Amino acid sequence: MEYAKLTRTKVMTPEETQRLKAAITEIASILYKNTSPEALENLEGIEKTVRTQMLSSVSPQIAFFLSNKQQAQIKDDLDKSRICVGELSITEKQAQKLGLEPRTHLSPVLEKCSLRLCANESYQNAEEELEALTGMKVGHSTLHRLVIRQDLQLPEALQAIPEVSLDGGKVRLQTPKGQECEWRDYKAVRLGGIYYGAFFGDRQALLDWVNSQRLINPLVCLGDGHDGVWKLFAEIGNSSSRLEILDWYHLRENLHKVGGSLKRLKQAEDFLWTGQVNATIALFADLNKKQAKNFCAYLNKHRNRIVNYAYYQAKQLCSIGSGAVESAIKQIGMRLKLSGSQWHPENVPPMLQLRCAYLNGQFAI
């Protein structure tokens, strides 16, 4: 609604339209006289020239519709703020009136553009892309500081949450030259297959965020066989409201690691598809191979999480796999695992917050 108010303008009268056209023609004539002929030989050159001239000479003069009278009334020290239509000199009082923080050098829209790019590209590439797309130069060090100082809050779900899925991702940390790189875990969450959250070394923040939502009873909790995932689920909601489901695709993958008779594996898969744990274990009772024993132990450990997948899918009661959060890991990892990326530990949480904010649509313009 606020954006709509900002973009609502009055309809110009015919006389005002003619005056505007005359002014534009005069501006174009002046800019043409101050442009080298070589810059006007093709459309690309014309586009670049018009953008440069608009950003440097025209747009800042009309940005925010600051009239000469308003400028004359305020005689504070001027500060430079880069905006998407050029560089604008504004006073502290003007900045306060326009909702800008003191000494802010990027406008709200340009800041959002910067954050969107930083959520997808390295800071160096974001600097280049920002200049190519907007014509504004913001250094990669400035972009890095911009990300670090953000206080991005995870969203509160607009609807009640019927399903939570958890999984872990990895990020490569910086190590001294010559030492082997170190990979550390972070946890990612999907709420209802919609909202993204990611946490590095802060399990309490994860639990607080999930438990602050309106969780439906029963709450479907989807995960693979990793102990850390189920330990977190044990602190989400309460035991009477949780319906814990072992990811079907991980279960099937672990089954086929046993190897051996294809007929036995097919029969075991059919049993597991309908939640028959005991019947599945019986199929492997005569096998002494390590893989079979490990798989039977795995089934016993998660037997209460192995449901009748066929029934749940037929009735469309809920998801039977944690594909939503696995997709989240890939989406988040696209930024963390850019070619050659290594991270200082203190820079990981801000980037996780940034990437999740982007995926949650918090940088809409």
Q: Where are the beta strands (DSSP E) in 125-202?
A: 161-173, 182-191, 195-199
Does the pLDDT at position 268 exceed 50?
Answer: yes
Q: Can you give the pLDDT at residue 292? A: 95
CA 22, 24, 29, 30 dihedral sign is positive
d(C-alpha 271, C-alpha 277), whole Å: 7
Give pLDDT, residue 98.
61
User: Does the pLDDT of residue 27 top 90, yes or no?
Assistant: no
What number of other Cβ atoms are within 10 A of residue 26's Cβ? 10
pLDDT of residue 108: 80
More confident residue, 308 or 317: 308
Q: Give the model's pLDDT for residue 9.
A: 59
Q: Which pair of tokens denotes residue 91? A: 């006073």
User: What is residue 107's predicted lDDT score, i.e. its pLDDT?
Assistant: 77
Can you read off the two tokens belonging to residue 36? 């080298």
List the domain boundaries for the chain.
2-105, 161-359
Least confident of 6-10, 148-152, 266-270: 6-10
Please tell me which residue, 88 or 115, carries the higher pLDDT value: 115
Amino acid (one-letter) located at 93: K
Model confidence pLDDT, tens digit, residues 176-203:
888 888 999 999 999 998 999 999 999 9
pLDDT of residue 32: 87
Per-residue pLDDT at 47 exceeds 80: no
Instruction: State the pLDDT confidence band at 325, using cuts at 50, 70 and 90.
Output: confident
Check residue 330 and give its pLDDT: 92
pLDDT band for position 68 (50/70/90)? very low
Note the pLDDT of residue 6: 42
In the chain, the percentage of residues whose pLDDT exceeds 70 is 85
- Annotate 118-149 with b (16+ C-beta within 10 A) or e (fewer): bbbbbbeebbebbeeebbbebebeebbebbee
Evaluate whether 222 touches 164 at the Cβ level (below 8 Å). Answer: yes
The pLDDT-based confidence of 74 (bands split at 50, 70, 90) is: very low
Bridge-based pairing of strands 242-246 and 215-223 is parallel
Q: Give me 331's structure tokens.
A: 């989406």
Average confidence (pLDDT) over 217-224:
94
At residue 63, the pLDDT reads 59
Q: What tokens were used for 71?
A: 């400028």
CA distance 43 to 49: 10
- Quote the pLDDT of residue 304: 95
Q: What is the pLDDT of residue 89?
A: 66
Residue 171 has pLDDT above 60, yes or no: yes
Give the SS3 label for residue 309. helix
Burial 302-338 (b: 16+ CB within 10 A, else e): beebbbbbeebeeeebbbbbbbbbbbbbebbbebbee
Q: What is the pLDDT of residue 49?
A: 80
Q: How confident is the model at residue 55 (pLDDT cuts 50, 70, 90)?
A: confident
* Cα atoms in the 13 Å half-sphere on the side-chain side of 202: 15
Interhelix angle 108-118/348-359, nearest 10 degrees: 110
Q: Residue 311: what pLDDT?
A: 96
